[in-house]
Amino acid sequence: MNELKITLEAVNPAVLWGPNNEYFELIKRSFPKLKVVARGDEVKVLGDEQELIHFNTKLTAIINHLDKYQNLSTNDIESILGENARPLPKPETAEGGESNAVASSSEVIVFGPNGIMVKARTDNQRRMVGSIVKNDVLFAIGPAGTGKTYTAVALAVRALKNKEIKRIILTRPAVEAGENLGFLPGDMKEKIDPYLRPLYDALDDMLPPDKLRQYLENRTIEIAPLAFMRGRTLDNCFVILDEAQNATEMQLKMFLTRMGPSAKFIVTGDVTQVDLPKKQMSGLFNALRILEGIKGIEVIYLSGKDVVRHKLVVKILEAYGDIQ
């Protein structure tokens, strides 16, 4: 019997083996002729030489995937293992519903740094996850704290990691600046960054700092005000328009018509928080009306049940009349 020893240097073993060693058990089960033991950052495998070579090839491919994308899922492992893959039996479900383990796994959208799991936490957030697979344009409308922007950014990061698209473009109307934008200190990036900070905050949870910095520098991820979208064709990318209630009718029409053949668009907005001048109508209201019923476009309305911030946020929104 031959022995193979592997030292895990490039990846965190806790992330590689998955929550509750789920990924380790899947890999081990897929090589029934081998004895696989993992302790710390070392893996010892006993068995036939050809089987060991095959195991080493597959495990190296899994490690390389994790190192490159900082993300790993059961589907990724099964895809790499190919015909070797032997999925674990599904846990028994509790009476009257889905097991907690299955439910938890299915809700993970993307794994962030240090094994952070970004999940869809409410029914409407889960609807967003399912909708973007079937539709190319998704409107997510709801009050503050419902996770609409955060979920949208997670879906974009997942698509990038899975190589479904080449770029992510995140945009918002820089409403508060108006014509006073030029009086703010700094270069253009420094002038607009305060308005785009929520998008950076979401990305910080989903990508390692060095990887995010690299993506921003090489424009794999672009964050820009809505005005910068004019005249462009956005293709092979995932595009999110945040705070769409602050876009005028012409701006929203301009944005939606930038869409290339291989793009996904998510538009998020809160119709109760329009910051436009009083005489300026929000374009979001009209867009929701005239685009209703078009195949490939879905509108999901989030509510107080979707608020994932402090429990007092729901009461505050109720007091202001934003939710019933």
Q: What 8-state DSSP symbol labels residue 282? A: B
Q: Mean of the per-residue pLDDT values for the chain?
A: 83
Residue with tokens 């092979």: 236
| 16 and 117 belong to one structural domain | no
| 183 and 316 belong to one structural domain | yes
User: Is it the case that residue 89 has pLDDT exceeding 60?
Assistant: no
User: Is it the case that residue 233 has pLDDT exceeding 50?
Assistant: yes
**Per-residue pLDDT at 101:** 37
Give me the mean pLDDT over the 211-217 stretch: 92
* DSSP for 95-153, written as a single string: TTS--HHHHHHHHEEEE-GGG-EEE--SHHHHHHHHHHHH-SEEEEE--TTS-HHHHHH
User: Is it the case that residue 99 has pLDDT exceeding 60?
Assistant: no
User: Is it the case that residue 161 has pLDDT exceeding 50?
Assistant: yes
| 266 and 160 belong to one structural domain | yes
Reported as a pLDDT band with limits 50, 70 and 90, residue 323 is: low
Total of domains in the chain: 2
Q: Is residue 69 part of a domain?
A: yes
| 62 and 201 belong to one structural domain | no
Domain interval for residue 198? 107-320
Ordered alpha helix ranges (H), the chain: 13-17, 22-29, 49-69, 74-81, 100-107, 123-134, 148-161, 188-206, 209-217, 249-256, 283-290, 311-320
Q: Is residue 98 part of a domain?
A: no
**Per-residue pLDDT at 103:** 36
**CA-closest candidate to residue 157, choices 217, 225, 90, 212:** 212
| Domain end point (choices 69, 84, 99) | 84
Reported as a pLDDT band with limits 50, 70 and 90, residue 268 is: very high
**Burial of 242 from C-beta contacts in 10 A (0-12 / 13-18 / 19+):** buried
**Per-residue pLDDT at 107:** 64
| 240 and 125 belong to one structural domain | yes
| 14 and 117 belong to one structural domain | no
Give me the mean pLDDT over the 103-113 stretch: 65
Q: Is residue 113 part of a domain?
A: yes
**Residue 34, domain CATH:** 3.30.1370.10
| 78 and 123 belong to one structural domain | no
| Domain end point (choices 84, 117, 140) | 84
| Residue 43 bridge partners (DSSP) | 6, 38
**Per-residue pLDDT at 240:** 95
Contact 12, 111 (CB under 8 A): no
| Domain end point (choices 21, 51, 84) | 84
Q: Which of residues 322 and 57 earns the better pLDDT score?
A: 57
**Per-residue pLDDT at 256:** 95
Q: Is residue 61 part of a domain?
A: yes
User: Is it the case that residue 57 has pLDDT exceeding 80?
Assistant: yes
Question: What dihedral angle (degrees, nearest 10) is formed by the CA atoms of 90, 96, 101, 105?
Answer: 90
Give me the mean pLDDT over the 7-34 stretch: 87
Q: Is residue 67 part of a domain?
A: yes
Q: Is residue 92 part of a domain?
A: no
Reported as a pLDDT band with limits 50, 70 and 90, residue 262 is: very high
**CA-closest candidate to residue 271, choices 105, 146, 160:** 146
| 244 and 159 belong to one structural domain | yes
Q: Is residue 99 part of a domain?
A: no
| 70 and 15 belong to one structural domain | yes
In the chain, % of residues over pLDDT 90: 39
Max Cα-Cα span within the chain: 81
| 170 and 73 belong to one structural domain | no
| 112 and 213 belong to one structural domain | yes
Reported as a pLDDT band with limits 50, 70 and 90, residue 85 is: low
**Per-residue pLDDT at 36:** 93
Q: Is residue 101 part of a domain?
A: no
**Residue 281, domain CATH:** 3.40.50.300
**Burial of 190 from C-beta contacts in 10 A (0-12 / 13-18 / 19+):** exposed
Angle between helix 209-217 and 188-206 (nearest 10): 140
Contact 265, 210 (CB under 8 A): no
Per-residue CA distances from 93 to 70, 89, 97, 98, 100 (Å)? 31, 12, 6, 5, 8
| 137 and 21 belong to one structural domain | no
**Per-residue pLDDT at 69:** 74
